[in-house]
Chain A
Amino acid sequence: MNAATLAVPPVADASPVRIVTMNGNPTPVPAAAEPAMPAESARASRQPLSRRLLPLFKVVVPPVVGIGLLIGIWAMVAMKGSIPGPAQTWQAAATLFADPFYSNGPNDQGIGWNVLSSLKRVGIGFGFAALVGIPLGFIIGRFAFMNSMVSPIISLLRPVSPLAWLPIGLLVFKQADPAATWTIFICSIWPMIINTAVGVQRVPQDYMNVARVLNLNEWKIVTKILFPSVLPYMLTGIRLSIGTAWLVIVAAEMLTGGVGIGFWVWDEWNNLKVEHIIIAIFVIGIVGLLLEQTLILIAKRFSYGNA
């Protein structure tokens, strides 16, 4: 109580000072933005430019410094060892990206084709996982019996590395390509089942009460209430799935061969073109980043404020 009453006078004193500053200054905006330092009104006119640049500075400089450091360390390591340095890699990248879509038979294709065929595998495997995982998540979330039935199975299988499933895929499909897709399917399905189920379980009771009062039929409940309510959770599941799938595809392709960024890395290792491996690492990173950001954008589109 005492502290509060003591705190009032300085604040009351500060306001006339602020008014004086505003009167003495032709542009009241910087003065108003600087209530903490009313005495430095002389410098206030110079403040806006640096004030405006500061946020930009904060956004741009740290990442640039970080990347600069990375390249610096890379260059130092390259000087000591057998890894190609940044300049050498840049030159290799320039020639590589000059013609990303050439094709000299199945084992020698441009980097563009390799990335696209990896993305295609991820897309197919992920698509099937979504087709199975999302409805399964809905069922598990809606019916407690199904939840208790399926939970132990999910708990058992989820920690298994997706690559452990690759031999099963090879055995069943007798071909490398569907086996890789199968691996993607397995690793994508868990986050989608789990997140969808959690989303269904967390549909606010208020919305379900609305459904009950209106006596909505099951179709309307699913389309107007359950689905929109679960969508943000589902998109989180999708984002996690795609992230894992993109991690796994490289490893899977290293084992299966064919066309794809993972196979390409292995192929270039056999050719001892290490600078290409480094380029591949960057390409994989950038594609993963783009996938993630796209899905974050989509998720933002479907988040509904705090209503």
Chain B
Amino acid sequence: MNKAMVRVENAGMSFDTKQGRFVALRDIDLTISEGEFVTLIGHSGCGKSTLLNLIAGLTLPTSGVLLCDGREIGGPGPERAVVFQNHSLLPWLTCFENVYLAVERVFAVKEGKPKLKARTEAALGMVHMDHAMHKYPHEISGGMKQRVGIARAFAMEPKILLMDEPFGALDALTRASLQDELLGVMEKTGATVVMVTHDVDEAVLLSDRVVMMTNGPAATVGEILTVRLERPRNRLALAHDRDFAEYRAALLEFLYQKQLRKAA
């Protein structure tokens, strides 16, 4: 086992609303190792995005503690890059400038402009966006925007990459090609990733471990599934793989039998 990159210890999150105290998360204990790909899966409203935001530092827990590389997470920072669901590219900057903004922030202290440019171009090249790097976000498709979002996050060389349903807004085919892209990028970089998803296939295909969350309110970690599939993984080969089918079934069982939403 590699060293722990992120430790979530007894974390809880509650909000004060007009109807009183709303407990979103309770008793979350989770350790994410270096180089590991962990997905958080659960029905909508189970607080998986809240947990991701806690790791990102965008919100702070109301109880418990979160550590990144041995230090308490007290706020957001570039060593925990976030890929947002709606890509969140700045519309007045080109794809290149969007990535450059992040690269500049992280590396400008010790590197000159040519190096920063090279980094930006390399990141965009990695997600195959080099042909459109000087276009503005509104000139490219949703899938391409998300590629740029991923490039921006990777370009920062974060200790951990946090992805909040990064492919949720994309159609199935685009989503598949971006998943393949992500698999390729991970092989090259060996990044540590935490990803929120509600897609069972996506979770099994990409993850080393799948964290299944119980339904909210007061959601917590239900089960953790360790996916022992060989890497590099191939989508087509896995389609007929028995282990893949069983992992998939285990997730479906949890989601649709043990945690079936009465309202849904």
CB-nearest residue of chain B relative to A209?
Answer: B58
Which residues of A lie under 8 Å from residue B81 when comparing CB positions? 213
Interface residues of B in 54-96 (CB under 8 A from A): 56, 58, 75-78, 80-82, 84, 86, 88-93
Given the contacts A209-B88, A305-B136, A215 and B105 also touching, CB distance less than 8 Å: yes
B138 an interface residue at 8 Å Cβ cutoff? Answer: yes
Given the contacts A209-B58, A224-B90, A215 and B84 also touching, CB distance less than 8 Å: no
Which residues of A lie under 8 Å from residue B84 when comparing CB positions? 206, 209-210
Whole-angstrom CA separation of A221 from B88 in the bound complex: 15
By the criterion CB–CB under 8 Å, are A307 and B105 in contact?
Answer: no
Which residues of B lie under 8 Å from residue A209 when comparing CB positions? 58, 76, 82, 84, 88
A306 an interface residue at 8 Å Cβ cutoff? Answer: yes
Give a binary string over B80-120; 1 marks a CB under 8 Å from any A CB, 0 the rest: 11101010111111000000011001000000000000000
Give a binary string over B142-158; 1 marks a CB under 8 Å from any A CB, 0 the rest: 00010000000000100
Which residues of B lie under 8 Å from residue A224 when comparing CB positions? 90, 93, 101
Whole-angstrom CA separation of A304 from B91 in the bound complex: 6
| Contacting residue for B78 out of A214, A228, A229, CB 8 A | A214
By the criterion CB–CB under 8 Å, are A213 and B77 in contact?
Answer: yes
Residues of A in contact with B, size category: 10 to 19
Interface residues of A in 216-253 (CB under 8 A from B): 216, 220, 224-225, 228-229
B47 an interface residue at 8 Å Cβ cutoff? Answer: no
A207 an interface residue at 8 Å Cβ cutoff? Answer: yes
B146 to chain A, nearest CB (A): 13
By the criterion CB–CB under 8 Å, are A307 and B137 in contact?
Answer: yes
A300 an interface residue at 8 Å Cβ cutoff? Answer: no
By the criterion CB–CB under 8 Å, are B56 and A213 in contact?
Answer: yes
Given the contacts A304-B136, A304-B138, A306-B138, A213 and B76 also touching, CB distance less than 8 Å: yes
Count of A-B contacts with CB under 8 A?
Answer: 62
Whole-angstrom CA separation of A228 from B10 in the bound complex: 41
A212 an interface residue at 8 Å Cβ cutoff? Answer: yes
Q: Name the residue in B81, B92, B145 with the highest tally of chain A Cβ atoms < 10 Å from its Cβ.
A: B92
Which residues of B lie under 8 Å from residue A214 when comparing CB positions? 78, 101-102, 105, 156
Which residues of B lie under 8 Å from residue A305 when comparing CB positions? 91, 136-139
Whole-angstrom CA separation of A215 from B90 in the bound complex: 15
Which residues of B lie under 8 Å from residue A215 when comparing CB positions? 76-78, 105
Which residues of B lie under 8 Å from residue A220 when comparing CB positions? 101, 105
Q: Name the residue in B80, B138, B139, B145 with the highest tally of chain A Cβ atoms < 10 Å from its Cβ.
A: B138
Which residues of B lie under 8 Å from residue A302 when comparing CB positions? 92
Which residues of A lie under 8 Å from residue B77 when comparing CB positions? 213, 215
Which residues of B lie under 8 Å from residue A207 when comparing CB positions? 88, 90
By the criterion CB–CB under 8 Å, are B82 and A213 in contact?
Answer: yes
Can you pick out 5 interface pairs between chain A and chain B where the beta carbons lie within 8 Å of each other? A206-B86, A214-B101, A302-B92, A304-B137, A305-B136
For the complex of A and B, the 8 pairs showing the least CB-CB separation, nearest first, are A305-B138, A307-B91, A304-B91, A307-B138, A307-B137, A228-B92, A206-B88, A212-B76
Residues on B facing A (Cβ under 8 Å): 56, 58, 75-78, 80-82, 84, 86, 88-93, 101-102, 105, 136-139, 145, 156
Residues on A facing B (Cβ under 8 Å): 206-207, 209-210, 212-216, 220, 224-225, 228-229, 302, 304-307
Question: Contacts A214-B101, A214-B156 given; 16 further ones with Cβ under 8 A?
Answer: A207-B90, A212-B58, A212-B75, A213-B80, A213-B81, A215-B76, A215-B78, A216-B105, A220-B101, A220-B105, A224-B90, A225-B90, A305-B137, A305-B139, A306-B138, A307-B138
